[in-house]
Amino acid sequence: MHIEPAEHIKSISEYYFSVKLAEVARMNAEGKNVISLAVGAPDRMPSPETIDTLCETARRPDVHAYQPYTGIPELRKAYADWYQRIYQVELAQDEVLPLIGSKEGILHISMTFLNIGDGVLVPNPGYPTYTSVSNLLRANVIEYDLLEHEGWYPDFESMEKMDLSRVKLMWINYPNMPTGANATVELFERLIAFGKRHHIIICHDNPYSYILNDKPMSILSLPGAKDICIELNSLSKSHNMSGWRMGMLASNPQFVKWVLKAKSNIDSGQFKPMQLATVAALSNSAEWHAEMNRIYAERRIWAEKIMDLLDCDYDKQQVGLFVWGKLNDTAAGSEAIANDLLCKAKVFITPGFIFGSNGERFLRISLGSSVEKLQEAYQRIEEFVKR
């Protein structure tokens, strides 16, 4: 018997971290004690109020049934209040859709708007899921360059010369992952105008705006943005809730209604105590977030020391959960160096090639590990470099 998977499964690879973390797990099982500085997963707990709300509500007998596909009203209101308070964006409840993490939203948005063969503008370097989801839906992935000398912003003149006739979506992500570049009002204005001019939905993936960033921004804060933009957001990074899978999207009511049509045929809502705990998390104090940023700032010092040790250049103004550093001209490629560090120093650092060809000469270090682990990683790499 000969059975083949669908063509769209053949067109993608298993997610890099799925493969590599399995390798790290095998090494740890062999007693090699790998330090992982690769994945953007915070190691701290959510706020005490978040945990207490989860525990208390989970004991109630009335919270264990299926929940609304649109999330409970309290959660939608909490997201809207959060956007008003942090981003100065007014959202009606029908402009908000809770998600099982914003990664899910990439799939749902793509399923909602893309026909086979439609074009999708994807950043290079950029989050690999933008490409893999587009390939799963047999869309036409069209890369646009993000280059260091351009501040990791799109080159609008180059994009205007592309054939955009079948392009339906454009993925953007600021604060940018992996580069740490931050947005400006002018950048968002140009993106909104570009989307309207070419009838392209601008999809802004915005999970990093809280981290080491003095001025969180939403593209939806600009006039006319809701007409053409969808914004994804998540509590994974900003509220230490990566395993909870609590995210949301916001846009105009028609876009939200169309995405809900796809989403409601796939999942059955989120556990009510987690939704209520998320309501509590969205009311975290400014002091709680300031303390998290103090911790990340301490970690960043050691991540930069590791970059120095590896003779990498990096921008001290970058924001977000990572440090993105450029290898010197004589170094091997990012994959070879990352593999060397893993095998010989027992430190897992993300090679930039996984984010696209423009990331080939870069490495990325996560701030999701303690200062103690970063210091130990530094010592291991120092010994490796000396050898």
Fold of 64-281: Aspartate Aminotransferase; domain 2 (3.40.640)
Cβ contact 77:85 at 8 Å: no
pLDDT at residue number 13 = 81
DSSP count for the chain of H helices, then E strands: 14, 13
- Strand blocks (E) in 125-273: 140-145, 167-172, 201-205, 229-234, 247-250
Tokens 């010197």 label which residue? 328
153-156: long-range contacts, CB 8 A cutoff, minimum separation 24: 153/181, 153/187, 154/123, 154/191, 156/190, 156/194
Q: What letter would DSSP give residue 210?
A: T
- Domain 7-45+286-386 CATH assignment equals 3.40.718.10: no
- Written as one letter, the residue type at 374 is L
Tokens 């970058």 label which residue? 318
Q: How far apart are the first and last CA of the chain?
A: 53
Cα 243–Cα 178–Cα 322 angle in degrees, nearest 5: 65
What is the sign of the dihedral through the CA atoms of 250, 172, 360 and 149? Answer: negative
pLDDT at residue number 2 = 87
In this structure, what token pair is assigned to residue 205?
Answer: 């993936």
Domain boundaries, the chain: 7-45+286-386, 64-281
pLDDT at residue number 324 = 97
In order along its 387 residues, the chain shows pLDDT tens digits of: 888 888 888 888 888 888 888 988 999 999 999 999 998 889 999 999 999 999 999 999 999 999 999 999 999 999 999 999 999 999 999 999 999 988 999 999 999 999 999 999 999 999 999 999 999 999 999 999 999 999 999 999 999 999 999 999 999 999 999 999 999 999 999 999 999 999 999 999 999 999 999 889 999 999 999 999 999 999 999 999 999 999 999 999 999 999 999 999 999 999 999 999 999 999 999 999 999 999 999 999 999 999 999 999 999 999 999 999 999 988 888 999 999 999 999 999 999 999 999 999 999 999 999 999 999 999 999 998 887
pLDDT at residue number 19 = 87
What is the sign of the dihedral through the CA atoms of 170, 176, 178 and 179? Answer: positive
DSSP letters for 299-327: HHHHHHHHHHHTT-EE-TT--SSEEEEEP
The CA–CA distances, whole Å, from 151 to 108, 155, 309, 315 equal 30, 10, 24, 10
